[in-house]
Amino acid sequence: MATMKAAVFVSPGKIALRDKPVPEIGPLDALIRITTTTICGTDVHILKGEYPVAAGLTVGHEPVGIIEKLGSEVHGFKVGQRVIAGAITPSGHSNACLCGIGAQDGPDSPHGFKVAGGWKFGNTIDGSQAEFLRVPDAMANLSPIPDHLSDEQVLMCPDIMSTGFSGAERGNIKIGDTVVIFALGPIGLSAVAGAKLLGATKIIGVDSIPDRLNIARALGADHVINFKTHDPVQEILKLTDGRGVDVAIEALGVQQTFESSLRVLRPGGTLSSLGVYSSDLRLPLDAFGAGLGDFTIVSTLCPGGKERMRRLMEAVGSGRADLSNLVTHRFKLSEIEEAYDLFANQRDGVIKVAITP
Amino acid sequence: MATMKAAVFVSPGKIALRDKPVPEIGPLDALIRITTTTICGTDVHILKGEYPVAAGLTVGHEPVGIIEKLGSEVHGFKVGQRVIAGAITPSGHSNACLCGIGAQDGPDSPHGFKVAGGWKFGNTIDGSQAEFLRVPDAMANLSPIPDHLSDEQVLMCPDIMSTGFSGAERGNIKIGDTVVIFALGPIGLSAVAGAKLLGATKIIGVDSIPDRLNIARALGADHVINFKTHDPVQEILKLTDGRGVDVAIEALGVQQTFESSLRVLRPGGTLSSLGVYSSDLRLPLDAFGAGLGDFTIVSTLCPGGKERMRRLMEAVGSGRADLSNLVTHRFKLSEIEEAYDLFANQRDGVIKVAITP
Amino acid sequence: MATMKAAVFVSPGKIALRDKPVPEIGPLDALIRITTTTICGTDVHILKGEYPVAAGLTVGHEPVGIIEKLGSEVHGFKVGQRVIAGAITPSGHSNACLCGIGAQDGPDSPHGFKVAGGWKFGNTIDGSQAEFLRVPDAMANLSPIPDHLSDEQVLMCPDIMSTGFSGAERGNIKIGDTVVIFALGPIGLSAVAGAKLLGATKIIGVDSIPDRLNIARALGADHVINFKTHDPVQEILKLTDGRGVDVAIEALGVQQTFESSLRVLRPGGTLSSLGVYSSDLRLPLDAFGAGLGDFTIVSTLCPGGKERMRRLMEAVGSGRADLSNLVTHRFKLSEIEEAYDLFANQRDGVIKVAITP
Amino acid sequence: MATMKAAVFVSPGKIALRDKPVPEIGPLDALIRITTTTICGTDVHILKGEYPVAAGLTVGHEPVGIIEKLGSEVHGFKVGQRVIAGAITPSGHSNACLCGIGAQDGPDSPHGFKVAGGWKFGNTIDGSQAEFLRVPDAMANLSPIPDHLSDEQVLMCPDIMSTGFSGAERGNIKIGDTVVIFALGPIGLSAVAGAKLLGATKIIGVDSIPDRLNIARALGADHVINFKTHDPVQEILKLTDGRGVDVAIEALGVQQTFESSLRVLRPGGTLSSLGVYSSDLRLPLDAFGAGLGDFTIVSTLCPGGKERMRRLMEAVGSGRADLSNLVTHRFKLSEIEEAYDLFANQRDGVIKVAITP
């Protein structure tokens, strides 16, 4: 049996490179030879044991690669095509998918629901930080990469760009909106780009790392606030003549950014939450307007599926969104433990890393 | 100067009938002679001092009456017409109104926003529990009552029906949805009727008062749960084969109903909050799916304006919704202190009272 | 090789019962033993040669039956289950499906698009007027029938109810809307039920057949207009005090009903077209308001897929919609030529027929 | 009585500068001293007698100016403020306004509806091509100009930008959409900018005038097609690999562009019509997919009101949209007949003119 290198979750605190069998595929699957992948903040949650996955699971959910093999029932693709698949891989045929929320794909039978059933790679099945990846429901999930785009140009599509843009989309941004993004990591920066792409005319980014504030400006932020030197709530009210913002995007996953997002919303505004939280949240009575504020709060999991990926690659290819400069560091798959160390500890100004087997 | 009787807020714990001058009106106002009005749960919050209003303010925000006088710039109406006005009276010309959220009407100048600016009657200006009422921005707010409808038939339109239906509307109910309503007071019962009117095919009502559970059934609930004898979360999962509900409507304003609403939501579902809260709310990590559930949480303040009232009276007149049997008790305006005593203490199975000057 | 009876298109003017092999199924398919099916107006278009299909094709697209066999890759169902499938059978994995318009399912490759790619049964593959039916993409399309519902109770779900309701849904009906339905055949009657289910408070039906006008009233029409005795446009303006309707649903497919739909729309209203047309349409300059009317015109093809079917069966099971009385005549499959003769010529007050193998 | 110069419609073929009294204002009005205005294609329809207005009416509906006087009931503004008002001036208090379609503002009484009731300037009341302008319902319609924006920078907001953007907005453009704009006059060019602002990733402009094709490129078109040298339908299918476009914007008002828009739509796509038509339109059977294409056709009249204007000026001020270079020629009000001659005959590459009293 052929073997390959794969980054596996061993135990809390340890993700390590191991030899594993190259995945077998079924009739509806595809086997992808990974050419580039990356590490996500969620992988760091897994590393730290904050988000539980099975020991031995291959981690990673952001694949760029080449079709190595196709299941017998997969039509419309051919071996050798360059493709990406989304971090979320909807089956296409579940009730959730047929309702248009593929990220919540899952068993239709009555076992009680669970959230995020569409997130499979590196969560419930082996992931992309490996030499090969099995893609389930390949016809719904493989998306060919246009020839003129490099691996790194599309590397943000499977998760970062899809998630960040969805924060803007679910905020239902309209022309003339003022939008704030709290936390300018890869997701938040992508949300800045998404807000710009959707017609927000005043975009405010909040973080404390000068490099990130600068990238936010380059991606479309009209104003940036360093929360170490200025109170963001006060600054935002000042920047909006006291009106507050139409849409606030939370891109970190902690009480403070969530609460500040709520505090700066105009009546009738939308809080669009992208964070992965690790504790209960509080809606303070005043910030929530005692329930009388006509507020909307939405949480969104990264949309997946080949059509989403096609559209995001169109955004890249047309020059409308360029997130490739978020890749600050590059590693071989063999160096992935080192990459995790750098990324998890946010050293050396790292934003995203590119991993190549 | 002509005087009239009016129920005024005196101090926490005391609303009393007093003589006050009949209101003067400006060019854009109308003066309404009240023929029927009612008491709202919010008035009880005011009575108890939980929601602060100015001492001496006339309370009440649910007017049915006859046009007594029209301001010089009010066109399209005539003295003697029977009309209602919504609890919320949007100006029509604020930025919020022009954005479609009249309930958040308010000064457009940059003083910092506040929520619920469209709620004026019995909050920031004198209200409807009186012989006469000044209606501001009359052209946007007076809605003629069709001849064949009685005062009591339209008495629920200004607030109860508008709020309850908005809970269903903002939940974005679709044909085939399962909807639960937590708490079956007047608002919750109206939300049951609204959910039915919008195509929900499985409606579940939760309360502990048998009479209310029965009325809920009559208004469209397919199932009712007495939370004193059954755990609503478990029962709802059973009734939905473990799927959870598409939409949960919170109609009370406390942590328990809010939290239970969240716990029974399917991934991608909507929590539609109608409650007026008096303390912070908590989003438990598991119930919120750690932010990965594609949930939507909306809070809604009663929509107002004459077009809304026209539509609700159409719903009444066509027989689509009949909430007149929510009126369980009737009082003269001179007996309003007694009415408050009954209503605030929820005695004698009271649901809503009708007050006639 | 096992054979079965099937109604096949022979040539324009002739649909005849023939022996054909029982369908073979692939890994993603299911084989259904048909227990009840019906004839649609579209089948009559096929019979007359107005809508071309291949000679020898089994016609019919409204299946109720029992799972006889499942493809090797089909999970979540079992042989012997009673199921329906929609008239439209989306694959779940095409770009169109992933955009949420499964009715426009089709090859994703760049051959040039065509409309209605999701309509396969009795159009591009063998249909349901037979003893057995192959259902493609079974996991996306099989929907189990609740035990307490009879075949005839769910027989309208695959097409009539799904199409009629979609006319109301795509009209974006709101509480308080006035809605007119032009032509009260099975689709139009179903649209009446759909408009009621979605909160329209004044529903007007237009036809010339007294029985259909009566059924429309029973399904929710507040007013009916016999166009042989009254001018519908004038009557509708009278019924709406000159305002016009919010939504007009066209359910026939000819210029006159389409044009009248447009003429009675209020500015900003929606024309929801369900008809299958056989000639060009004209938008008269005045009716179209010279382009200044903020009108919306939508055409909709029957939504399919198992989740849609599940929801429609919920509407039936909850008593929200009962279209079973549209079945006015019953035939054996062996009598199908006679059934076509009756149905195509609209004799004996026929609305829908039930065909049982 | 003070007099002023005003361009008035005299008779078909003749718009001339005349002396008229400075307008009187009522309690809800404002008087604006015009500092800059412009001529619209619609004014040319009026000039030619194709769109009838009363003889003696002052024409023009695109005002930039300074508040000269305020009605007694107008609050929130002050004399001397620089303001614009939209071409469309919703009252804020009609049923149409309260439904969110202010462009269809009009009498609520049952006289039978008419379209475009919100368009008053230069249509039903005196317009802006004059030294002074009465603005009705001033509180809903005056929008202060930020100090840092010049008259010419905001001159496109009242109509061109609002209309063009609305074509993109009503097309419901999503990230990754392909959008074509047929006809690149001022409205079409503005629609190009709007499509870009809303996230379209492939924008195709169609016209025959090279200068306009170049401006379209500068405003965001990825591809342009000269219909004199290439068949737009064929080119668009080629550019989209046969898929067709998601949204087609018609910006001229003739059968050919309307029909081509329909022909290039993918199933499920939207035709967004901005044209003012002067004859019946035809929906060819094949282009309309016989009614089976899940198409949406929307027509939109320029949105107005102060909040819309505020948002458009935000788009200008933030640099998101710059249409000021559409102004190719400048005239004094005293030269307006000359300006009409140039503009109506499309001489000298004129796109828009600026007129200053």
Stretch A26-37: mean pLDDT: 98
Domain ranges for chain B, please list them.
3-85+121-156+323-356, 164-299
* Nearest residue, CB atoms, B242 vs list A99, A110, A280: A110
Whether domain B164-299 has CATH 3.40.50.150: the reply is: no
Instruction: Sort out which chain D residues have CB atoms less than 8 A from A315's CB and list them.
Output: 175-176, 199, 201
Superfamily of domain A163-299: NAD(P)-binding Rossmann-like Domain (3.40.50.720)
| Complex ipTM value | 0.97
* Predicted confidence (pLDDT) at residue A263 exceeds the cutoff of 50: yes
Contact B72 D27 (CB under 8 A): yes
* Nearest residue, CB atoms, D110 vs list C112, C242, C267: C242
Give partners of B (≥3 CB pairs < 8 A): A, C, D
When the pLDDT of each residue in chain C is averaged and rounded to a whole number, the result is 95
Pick the closest to residue D306 from D162, D127, D166 (CA basis). Answer: D162
* Predicted confidence (pLDDT) at residue D111 exceeds the cutoff of 60: no
Chain D CA closest to residue B304: D98
* Predicted confidence (pLDDT) at residue B291 exceeds the cutoff of 90: yes
Q: Which range among C59-63, C96-100, C247-251 shows the weakest confidence by mean pLDDT?
A: C96-100
Stretch D22-39: mean pLDDT: 98
Q: How would residue A111 be classed by pLDDT, with cut points 50, 70 and 90? A: very low
Q: How far apart are CA A242 and CA A259, in angstroms?
A: 18
Tell me the DSSP string of A267-308. Answer: EEEEEEE----SS-EEE-TTTTGGGTS--EEEE-----SHHH
Asked if domains B3-85+121-156+323-356 and B164-299 share a fold, the reply is no
* Cβ neighbourhood burial of A51 (10 Å; 0-12, 13-18, 19+): middle
* Predicted confidence (pLDDT) at residue C111 exceeds the cutoff of 50: no
Residues C279-303 have pLDDT tens digits of 999 999 999 999 999 999 999 999 9
DSSP character for B38?
-
Give the count of Cβ contacts less than 8 A between chain C and D.
158
Q: What are the tokens at C61?
A: 């697209």
Q: Which amino acid is at B102?
A: G
Residue B262 φ/ψ, nearest 5 degrees? -70, -40
What are the distances in angstroms from CA A44 to CA A50, A209, C184?
9, 20, 61
Tell me the DSSP string of D23-55. Answer: PP--TT-EEEEEEEB---HHHHHHHTTSS---T
Other CB atoms within 10 Å distance of the CB of residue D1:
5
pLDDT value at residue C115: 85
Q: How far apart are CA D40 and CA D161, in angstroms?
A: 12
Residues C148-192 have pLDDT tens digits of 999 999 999 999 999 999 999 999 999 999 999 999 999 999 999
Residues A137-146 have pLDDT tens digits of 999 999 999 9
> Which is it for the CA torsion A65, A66, A71, A77, positive or negative?
positive
Q: How far apart are CA A241 and CA D277, in angstroms?
A: 42
pLDDT value at residue D281: 98
Instruction: Give the helix/strand (H/E) hosting B342.
Output: helix B336-344
Q: How would residue D110 be classed by pLDDT, with cut points 50, 70 and 90? A: very low
pLDDT value at residue D109: 44
Q: Which amino acid is at B347?
A: R
Q: What are the tokens at D92?
A: 């804020």
Instruction: Give the helix/strand (H/E) hosting C238.
Output: helix C232-239
When the pLDDT of each residue in chain D is averaged and rounded to a whole number, the result is 95
Name which of D98, D101, D313 to mutate to probe chain B: the one with the most chain B Cβ atoms within 10 A of its Cβ. Answer: D98
Tell which phi-psi region holds residue D166, choosing left (phi > 0), alpha (psi between -120 and 50) or beta.
alpha
Residues B5-22 have pLDDT tens digits of 999 999 999 999 999 999
Residues A41-79 have pLDDT tens digits of 999 999 999 989 999 999 999 999 999 999 999 999 999
Contact A201 D176 (CB under 8 A): no
Residues in Cβ contact with A147 at an 8 Å cutoff, skipping those fewer than 6 apart: A82
Q: How would residue D114 be classed by pLDDT, with cut points 50, 70 and 90? A: confident
pLDDT value at residue C113: 55
**Residue B249 bridge partners (DSSP):** B181, B272
Pick the closest to residue C85 from C245, C343, C304, C322 (CA basis). Answer: C304
Give partners of C (≥3 CB pairs < 8 A): A, B, D
pLDDT value at residue B110: 43
**Residue C119 bridge partners (DSSP):** C88
Half-sphere exposure of C243 (CA within 13 A, CB side): 20
Instruction: Sort out which chain D residues have CB atoms less than 8 A from B26's CB and list them.
Output: 73
What are the distances in angstroms from CA B170 to CA A296, B275, B350, D200?
10, 14, 28, 28
pLDDT value at residue B113: 55
pTM: 0.97
CATH fold for the domain made of D3-85+121-156+323-356: Quinone Oxidoreductase; Chain A, domain 1 (3.90.180)
What dihedral angle (degrees, nearest 10) is formed by the CA atoms of A253, A258, A264, A267? 120
Chain B CA closest to residue A111: B242
Q: How far apart are CA B104 and CA B102, in angstroms?
A: 5
Largest CA distance in chain C: 66
Residues D246-280 have pLDDT tens digits of 999 999 999 999 999 999 999 999 999 999 999 99
Residue D272 φ/ψ, nearest 5 degrees? -105, 110
* Predicted confidence (pLDDT) at residue C110 exceeds the cutoff of 50: no
Q: Which amino acid is at D333?
A: L
* Nearest residue, CB atoms, C98 vs list A27, A28, A307: A307
When the pLDDT of each residue in chain A is averaged and rounded to a whole number, the result is 95
Residues A323-345 have pLDDT tens digits of 989 999 999 999 999 999 999 99
Q: How far apart are CA D119 and CA D129, in angstroms?
A: 15
> Which is it for the CA torsion C197, C203, C209, C210, positive or negative?
positive
Asked whether D298 and D271 are in contact (CB, 8 A), the reply is yes
**Residue C203 bridge partners (DSSP):** C179
Stretch B271-275: mean pLDDT: 97
Instruction: Sort out which chain A residues have CB atoms less than 8 A from B104's CB and list them.
Output: 266-268, 293-294
Residues A196-239 have pLDDT tens digits of 999 999 999 999 999 999 999 999 999 999 999 999 999 999 99
Instruction: Give the helix/strand (H/E) hosting C35.
Output: strand C30-36
Residues in Cβ contact with C256 at an 8 Å cutoff, skipping those fewer than 6 apart: none
Instruction: Sort out which chain C residues have CB atoms less than 8 A from A95's CB and list them.
Output: 306-307, 310
* Predicted confidence (pLDDT) at residue A257 exceeds the cutoff of 60: yes
* Cβ neighbourhood burial of C193 (10 Å; 0-12, 13-18, 19+): buried
Q: How would residue C109 be classed by pLDDT, with cut points 50, 70 and 90? A: very low
pLDDT value at residue D107: 67
Contact C315 B176 (CB under 8 A): yes
- The percentage of chain C sitting over the pLDDT mark of 70, rounded to a whole number, equals 98
* Nearest residue, CB atoms, D176 vs list A176, A177, A314: A314
Give the count of Cβ contacts less than 8 A between chain A and B.
158
Q: What are the tokens at A179?
A: 């939008």
